[in-house]
Amino acid sequence: MSEEQQTYDEAVQRLEAIVTQLERGGKNLDETLAMFEEGTTLLKRCQQELAEAEGRLAELRLDEAEALVKDDE
Amino acid sequence: MSAGHGTTTGPLPVGQFAQLIQHTVKNDPMFQHQALAGEVSQWSVHNGNIYFTLRDDVGQMSCVIWRSARLNIDPAIKVGSEVIIIGSLDLWPKRGNLQLVVSKIQPVQTLGALEETKRQLIETLRDEGALEMPSRPLPSLPKHIAIVTGAGSAALSDMKRLIENRWPSMRTTVIGVLVQGEHAPRELVRGLAITRDLARPEVAQRLGLPPVDAVIVGRGGGSPEDLWAFNLEPVVRAIMASPVPIISAVGHEQDHLVSDLVADVRASTPSNAIERLVPDRHGVLMLMDDLDQRLDASVQRRLQELRQQLALLTSQLKHAPGKGVYRAKDVLNALGGRLTRSVDAGLARQQQRLATLQATLQAAHPKRVLERGYTMIQDDKGRVLTAAASLQQGQTVNLQFADGRAAADIHTIEPEEDQP
């Protein structure tokens, strides 16, 4: 699982697939625990991404915005 | 000039008369900085100065654009072009010709001519293959949205209100620009250039923000001329240059612009762009909680099943019937013993891992729910109460908060009516 490349959407999809498979049952102990572990990691990852999506709205005039990005360039 | 003046001083030298006219027209606002419309004829250049005639069906005027004025002249202007000029009347006494000194000239873009330009641009883009570029998907959870739109516009107010409803803490940078008129194309191009900078990790990092991962460019409804900037090549090219998914959100549902063709997503209105890009925060958090609980429950159930299977297998081996099959029974017993031991060992090892994981989850999850303002209500036997119908008047319940407990008495019960 390449966590860096995986988008939030892909992580949620994978997590949903894991939960559905676990709910269907029939996996052996090792498979069950491996899936649980992956699911837990994905869950943490998604929660972290949700935390990162918290910010605020900034309204800038064109010249202000230009000054902001051009700073020290 | 009165008749008396003429008779007392004799005839006026014609040069003075010309100077008098020059003085009059240059000091009368009626003849200065006038916007005039007409058709260009006899366009010629001498010593860097441009001489032409502005005419219509009724009359014509000589015009000059002095080299020193350094005007930006649209290369499309030629003999026969309909133009608008700003001109001031002057007379050069030595030649006695009235002429208009032009300080601004631009072609008149009739809507028909504009449509033709738009059609040509679409054709060029089609030839380049720009219209078949695959659309990039919008991020399902944007970390930083950039919006390029009219500063203080109604469209911006609508977008802000929708963000507030859907995900109030969505990180958003609004760049206010002119979206109609002469300066609109240039300002839109500058605004879009800023979004490209904000999408660069090194710029974002310096500003302490995540890089922009989605852009909305647009404006509210207006006349076709008002929306025209979004059909112009520089704006269209700036949209195509976006390194991240970009939404074109111009005008109303029925307006179709070239910007819509090259953006990753065409939104019918600015509000529609927000609806498509900004997720509903409440829904996202609910889904996460749901997956969390289902993951836990499904693993617990499966482990219970595996334990029961093991117990059944062990007991079957111990009580295997049959005299005369001692050999087989011994083998089975031996196998059973080994199986039990290895499965037990495996189970013990895995259960330990599970216990660690469960401890992490259990420590974190219910508490997190409580910290968001939910409260768990239990009866005096510690059973969780989830239905108003299960309560009794006067019953004492325990309230579990994130940071402690409290007891409360029930004095009114109002079960919710079934939805029709």
CA B381 from chain centre, in angstroms, equals 53
Which residues of chain B neighbour A52 with C-beta distances below 8 Å? 143, 210
Query: B2 pLDDT exceeds 50?
Result: no
Q: Which residues of A touch B365 (CB under 8 A)?
A: none
Class of domain B3-108: mainly beta
Give the pLDDT confidence of B12-31 residue by residue, as tens digits. Answer: 899 999 999 999 999 998 89
Q: Characterize B234-266 residue by residue with b for buried, 16 or more Cβ atoms within 10 angstroms of its Cβ, and e for exposed.
A: ebbebbbebebbbbbbbbeeeeebbbbbbbbbb
For the residues B272-288, what does the mean pLDDT come to?
93
Position with higher pLDDT, A8 vs B184: B184
pLDDT at residue A5, rounded to an integer: 59
Chain A residues interacting with chain B (CB cutoff of 8 angstroms): 7-9, 12, 15-16, 18-19, 22-23, 25, 27-30, 32-33, 36-37, 39-40, 43, 46-47, 49-50, 52-62, 65-66, 68-72
pLDDT at residue B358, rounded to an integer: 64
Q: Which residues of B4-31 are buried (b: 16+ CB within 10 A; e: fewer)?
A: eeeeeeeeeeeeeebeeebeebeeeeeb
User: For testing the chain A interface, which of B302, B310, B352, B354 should be mutated: the one with the most A CBs within 10 Å?
Assistant: B302
Q: pLDDT tens, B324-372?
A: 445 555 666 666 666 666 666 666 767 776 676 666 555 556 566 677 6
CB B251 within 8 A of CB B269: yes
**Residue B329: what pLDDT?**
59
pLDDT mean across residues, chain B: 86
Rounded average pLDDT over B130-148: 92
* pLDDT at residue B338 in the model: 63
The residue in chain A having the minimum alpha-carbon distance to the alpha carbon of residue B201 is A69
Predicted pLDDT at B368: 63
**Region at B271 (left for phi over 0; alpha for psi -120 to 50; beta for the rest):** alpha
ipTM over 0.85: no
Distance CA(A35)–CA(B296), nearest Å, equals 11
pLDDT exceeds 90 at position B323: no
Q: Are B402 and B417 in contact (CB under 8 A)?
A: no
Give the domain ranges of chain A. 8-70
Pairing of strands B60-65, B49-55: antiparallel
- Residue ranges of the domains in chain B? 3-108, 113-279, 283-368, 375-420
The predicted structure's pLDDT at residue B178: 95
Euclidean distance between CA atoms B230 and B246, whole angstroms:
14
Q: What's the pLDDT band for A9 if we cut at 50, 70, 90?
A: confident
Contacts of B122 (CB under 8 A, 6+ apart): B131, B258, B261
User: Binning pLDDT at 50, 70 and 90, where does residue A3 land?
Assistant: very low
Whether residue B91 contacts residue B27, with contact meaning beta carbons closer than 8 Å, is answered with no
Positive or negative: CA dihedral B386, B388, B392, B393? positive
pLDDT exceeds cutoff 60 at A73: no
Rounded mean pLDDT, A61-69: 92
Per-residue confidence (pLDDT) for residue B359, from 0 to 100: 63
Taking contacts as CB-CB distances below 8 angstroms, the residues of chain A near B209 are 55
User: What's the pLDDT score for residue B204?
Assistant: 94
**Res B58: pLDDT:** 92
CATH code, residues B113-279 = 3.40.50
pLDDT-based confidence at B219, cuts 50/70/90? very high
Instruction: Tell me which of B86 and B344 has the higher pLDDT.
Output: B86
Q: Is the pLDDT of residue A57 over 80?
A: yes
Please write the tens of the pLDDT for every residue from B396-420: 898 888 788 888 888 888 877 654 4
A contacts of B299 (beta carbons < 8 Å): 22, 32-33, 36
Count CB atoms within 10 A of the CB of residue B319.
7
Residues B104-129 pLDDT 10s: 998 887 667 788 889 999 999 999 99
Q: How confident is the model at residue B163 (pLDDT cuts 50, 70, 90)?
A: very high
> What pLDDT is attached to residue B91?
93
Q: What is the pLDDT of residues B169-215, one digit of tens each?
A: 999 999 999 999 889 999 999 999 999 999 999 999 999 999 999 99
Taking an 8 Å cut-off on Cβ atoms, the answer to whether B350 and A27 are in contact is: no
Give residue A47's pLDDT.
87
pLDDT band at B391 (very low <50, low <70, confident <90, very high): confident
Interface touch B187/A15, C-beta < 8 Å:
no
pLDDT score, position B1? 47
Contact between B173 and A60 using a beta-carbon 8 Å cutoff: yes
Residues 6+ apart with CB under 8 A from B328: B322
Q: What is the mean pLDDT of residues B132-146?
A: 92
C-alpha span between A61 and B208 (Å, rounded): 19
pLDDT: is A72 or B379 the higher one? B379
Average pLDDT of the residues in B65-74: 87
